[in-house]
Structure 1
């Protein structure tokens, strides 16, 4: 029997995101022939900072400038990516009346052009064309390029960021805490609709990225890793149920389940969690035989008795939206930064409890592009920030999930995605340490 429903969707948007704390180097020369070099530490679209160094009258200056990002289109043909500088603060000694106008970074490219051209910069907040200068270079730095001497161009020897970046880049020997694994296994379950025409590429990208991240975490913690996958032509409800029934755990194990695909709500549905649409073709009927509730997955897995259970759904929680495909490709680095293993240990070894979260509230769609779902991207960004040496607090799962939801919400704001509607995820956490 068919039920009335609101079929959920994925909305495809146009910005590509980067993960972890990525380092970029910027060089440009102003109209007075003053040369500037910047080291940017990029966390996510809403959070970055750059140390800018330059000399005037043989006086060396370093200024800290905060950054956030905006992406969009002008008409149908011109794309742009814009990094807005704000709150400049001198790090070096300076005269009381010294000022620094924060720099803006601007990339533009046409509909059929690549977006790997060098950006323009200006400190003119009115953005007059005559004041735009194309930078001399802009590139991502690998950690093996960073030396102590290089960092000292931008940071004082007593700054917390200096010590943290040295650890992150492997310049300071850090004795990772010994993990008594006691036979712990991390069970990683990924259900991804990689064959569906509209979002398959996005789901496939996230499937591979998530597998790499969690297998790397297991390696860092010296614990077991067991992978369970449903994707491609195997993506259906029978296989999902068979997989869920096959998972057996020990009391000290970790279970991580992540769904990437379409989602929806029945019109008479009372609970807040989305239905997972387990079809690879829109011609297949949508009914109880081709869908499962995310809350039911949570109940099934938690009942197995693992110490830590994390169940995430990256899908819509509403009716059909408009699918859009675009090809913006910005700030997509390969991060090789060292994590703080003591923070990993707190999240995955010390933590005990359950987490359930999904990308959108009832009535909302979720957004994605070819480079991943906004919720999944945000989860990885939030986790990388929590386990970084640049995080000076203790990592916490509730804070991580709340930050994930915030970052995904920011990605769908008009500042970052002009075509997006608001996406505000929901969650339950009950974790102790």
Structure 2
């Protein structure tokens, strides 16, 4: 009897739900009318909510010398309707340009593979739907999905992981080779101060800002709870929104040298004809009255106020436009995610970001000067979502030695990509509507 070839690939899906990652194991094949002619592929993929991903394929041959592991990056895309507009009911990830993991990263000849997902309206998620590839002539090959399993923590045994990874890979080290050190009693005395400022009563973007406020509060509380440190939230929204109240809220934050301070603004912002690259926050409750000097504050001024406090980690974040005052935040497409798995974050990665003894301060805003920001009432701002997604991605079990520079670069890159799925006025000509251009800017000290 002829022995079947067995191809094994690893697919990991990150989600911004309660858990950091979604893991699916999938068995599929292409062609073949006889069982002896079929090469089965056992799939296990890494997809991030930000539209990036990685794929590994481990070939198990008859002898150890015939076995190998190859990998490639994955790129997200969406279906198109007859008018060439995005059809968000269908999503896909394509992997190509494979390299050998265990052979000094040499190029590997392997056809591209595309995984399609169909939107499940009942659960607001994308479910695996189809697998395709191309032959040597470029013709599309329709694959057959034989098995599909949603993985959990208990599935990640050492034997299972080593099927797809080496002992040098971060996921193996995180699960089996890293001694997880609990926080010391002194570290557990640290507190996370979180001030969220949101223009929730605004007629145009109020629902978007409300969603940002709710999601940011819940997300950072989850991090504080995981670290077992205190969480001290404060908010400013609705009719209380003005410059004086904002300054009072900032002044009320009294961190020690071991504490964390996070400021998040969601609302209107604008730029002026000056040298400041970060936006002015529009703190008028009534947007029909002209802007007065006391109705605004620049994000850099907020940053300096917070950075001058003794906190160990300072994150100052704004999700707003950075264009002239007449421009408003744009409505973005609402894009769901694949189904998440009950697999937790890496505590060591979380500590690397939030418990690093070295003092760090980050100022980051949703759009560079001359651009609008986009969002919707279901997901909130694109930028705010990408910030959370970047944290989820790098605090997952497949990374080690993470830094805030990695987080900010990822937020910048993926905000640009995701914003392009929505339409906005073009910076070079506001009368022309096209793919949104939204490029976060930041400074890291």
What's the TM-score once normalised by structure 1's chain length? 0.76
SS in 1 for 2:215: helix
- String of CA shifts for 1:305-334, please: whole Å, max 9, x gaps: 333322111211014267335343233636
* Partner residue of 1:391 out of 362, 382, 399: 399
Structure 1 position 335, deviation (Å): 6.3
Counterpart position of 1:299? 304
Question: Contact 2:268–2:329 (CA<8 Å) still a contact in 1?
Answer: no
User: 1:63, 1:42 → 2: CA distance?
Assistant: 17
User: Matched residue of 2:15: which SS?
Assistant: coil
Report the counterpart of residue 9 of structure 1 in structure 2.
none
**What pairs up with 1:144-159 in 2 under 5 angstroms?**
144-156=154-166, 158-159=167-168
Shift of 1:92: 8.5
How many residues end up aligned between the 2 structures?
A: 406
What is the match of residue 82 of structure 1? 92
Establish whether residue 377 from structure 1 lines up as the match of residue 385 from structure 2: yes
Match of 2:375 in 1: 368
- Does the alignment pair 1:31 with 2:46? no
Number of the residue aligned with 2:142: 132
Which structure's relative contact order is higher, taking Cα pairs within 8 Å and 6+ residues apart? 1
For 2:361, the equivalent position in structure 1 comes to 354
Deviations 1:360-385 (A, max 9, x none): 11111223343232322232233334
Aligned alpha-carbon RMSD (Å): 4.2
Call closer, same or farther: CA 1:73–1:179 in 2, change over 3 Å: farther
Residues 339-369 of structure 1, C-alpha deviations (whole Å, 9 max, x = no match): 2336515643412143212121111122334
Contact 2:70/2:100 (<8 A) preserved: yes
Are residue 274 (structure 1) and residue 288 (structure 2) matched? Answer: no
Contact 1:35 1:54 in 2 (8 A): no
The 10-residue stretch of structure 1 (354-363 or 418-427) with the greater mean CA deviation from structure 2: 418-427
CA contact (8 A) 1:37 1:54 kept: no
1:117 Cα shift? Answer: 5.2
2:175 counterpart of 1:166: yes
Residue 210 of structure 1 deviates from its aligned partner by 2.5
- 1:182–1:78 distance in 2 versus 1, CA, 3 Å: closer
CA distance in 1, matches of 2:93, 2:338: 11
Q: Partner of 2:337: helix, strand, or coil?
A: coil
The 1:90/1:416 distance shift into structure 2, 3 A limit, reads farther
Native 8 Å contact 1:24 1:140 kept in 2: yes
SS of the aligned residue for 1:422 comes to coil
**Aligned partners of 1:183, 1:322: CA distance in 2, in Å?**
39
Is 1:43 paired with 2:48?
yes
DSSP-derived class of the 1:271 partner: coil
| TM alignment of 1:233-248, pairs within 5 A | 234-248=240-254
- Give the Cα–Cα distance (whole angstroms) in 2 for the partners of residues 185 and 97 of structure 1: 48
1:119 alignment partner, one of 120, 125, 129: 129
Alignment gaps of 5+ in structure 2 = 1-13, 33-37, 425-432
Matched, 1:252 2:267: no
- Partner of 2:113 in structure 1? 103
Unaligned runs of 5+ in 1: 1-16
